[in-house]
Amino acid sequence: MEWWCIGTKWQNLWYALFEYECLNYRPKTNTADTTSITGLGTGSKWNGGVLAPNGKIYGIPSESDSVLIIDPVTNTANTTTITGLGAGGNKWSSGVLAPNGKIYGIPYNATDSVLIIDPATNTANTTTITGLSGSYRWSSGVLAPNGKIYGIPNDTTNVLIIDPQKNTADTTSIATISGTTKWNGGVLAPNGKIYGIPASSDVVLIIDPSNNSVDTTTITGLVGVNKWNGGTLAPNGKIYGIPFSTTTNSVLILDPKSNGSFCPSILESSYLNKF
């Protein structure tokens, strides 16, 4: 996979497709292209992109009324096929491809529902998983080995657990500490645990999907606000947090000390290595 669409205004790779044009980055030649896919309007529209089994990339609507569909083969973008999702409001923040082939958009602010995109039919559903009220709730989602999607808490005190097989959501099984803008992004480590990247929290969130437990006491002392935004698992088994705030002058390096690793074909895939 040579071409990756990783977004605009490039706060980091997490906020993919956030403004009006798409950045195509080719690692083999260390070049960037912002002219091939343009004309997407102005403003803050999509937050996060997910590669689907059909080879297309789906941009998750934040302020936009539509889903962005990028075709890497033809270098074209479509904003008219999946529409009617309502403009404004920071609705969903990032998405996750589930084993059933559907993409689940994580509810962030001005929506109480999970966005379910079916790439096979190019349709979207916002009525199946609802009732998730609140403001600035979950910043992202991570697919766990048990097939469930875990939403990383932003302002809310609960981890979101989406079961794609049953199309249900659970917000009561895992409670965390209070605070605002706590974690932004999460990474699955080879030990099966999910590590939440600290934004304004001074601790790393560690979720164990095997027993739905949470740990906020093992990795602490990371003082500051809006420190890191998203993270990536490297071949050495460590997780690297991307600096966000101007007051953060360092990369966060987490060592899960896993007894094993993901093989390169998985680790470097365009889906897993999306942050």
List, in order, residues 6 or more apart from 81 with CB less than 8 Å away.
66, 67, 69, 122
- Strand segments, DSSP code E, in 1-119 are 4-5, 24-26, 31-33, 46-51, 57-61, 68-71, 76-78, 92-97, 103-107, 115-118
Domain with CATH 2.40.10.500 in the chain: 176-275
Contact (Cβ atoms closer than 8 angstroms) between residue 200 and residue 182: yes
Q: Is the pLDDT of residue 15 over 80?
A: no
Domain with CATH 2.130.10.10 in the chain: 1-135
For residue 220 the two structure tokens come to 């602490």
Q: Which helix (H) or strand (E) is 163 found in, with range? A: strand 160-163
For residue 15 the two structure tokens come to 């906020």
What confidence score (pLDDT) does residue 27 get? 66
Considering the four listed CATH numbers 1.10.3260.10, 3.40.1360.10, 2.130.10.10, 3.40.640.10, the one that applies to the domain covering 1-135 is: 2.130.10.10
Between 89 and 207, the higher pLDDT residue: 207
pTM, two decimals, is: 0.88
> Percent of the chain, pLDDT > 90?
76
What's the distance, Cα to Cα, between the start and end of the chain in Å? 15
For residue 261 the two structure tokens come to 């690793």
CATH fold of 176-275, please? Thrombin, subunit H (2.40.10)
Question: For residue range 47-86, what is the model confidence (pLDDT) as tens digits?
Answer: 999 999 999 999 999 999 999 999 999 999 999 999 999 9
The arithmetic mean of pLDDT across residues 139-147, rounded, is 96
